[in-house]
Amino acid sequence: MNNVDHEGNSVPRVFVQHYEHYLGNEGDTTALNNPTLFTKRLDTGIRDHMVRPVSNEEIKLSMFSIGDNRAPVPDGYSFAFFKNSWEVVGNDVCIAVREFFY
């Protein structure tokens, strides 16, 4: 850092020290109080609906609404695979979806 080249074992130490300097100290901050920044807000019903837990059936309906060959992942699994194997993989898919969002 400071335009000095570091080599070998000193690189990790200098790297950590650099970020400790910025992340380990309290900086000068001010509260953001700008009522015009967000003028449109969701009503509480819609807001609560967006963060509610979803059922296995909702996850299944969402999965089954996607085209069979849409967005295959690098390992080659398509939505057709998950649909055709839902009885075996459905519960694991639902668990994975919940872990991702919650």
Global confidence as pTM: 0.56
Question: Mean pLDDT, to the nearest integer, of 20-24?
Answer: 78
Q: How far apart are CA 39 and CA 20, in angstroms?
A: 37
pLDDT at 2 over 80: no
Question: Mean pLDDT, to the nearest integer, of 19-41?
Answer: 79
- Scored b (16 or more CB within 10 A) or e, 18-53 reads eeeeeeeeeeeeeeeeeeeeeeeeeeeeeeeeeeee
Q: How confident is the model at residue 3 (pLDDT cuts 50, 70, 90)?
A: low
More confident residue, 74 or 72: 74
Which residue, 70, 72, 63, is CA-closest to 94? 63
Digit-coded pLDDT (tens) for 45-66: 999 998 899 999 999 999 999 9
Q: How confident is the model at residue 21 (pLDDT cuts 50, 70, 90)?
A: confident
**What was the pLDDT predicted at 22?**
76
Question: Mean pLDDT, to the nearest integer, of 21-40?
Answer: 79
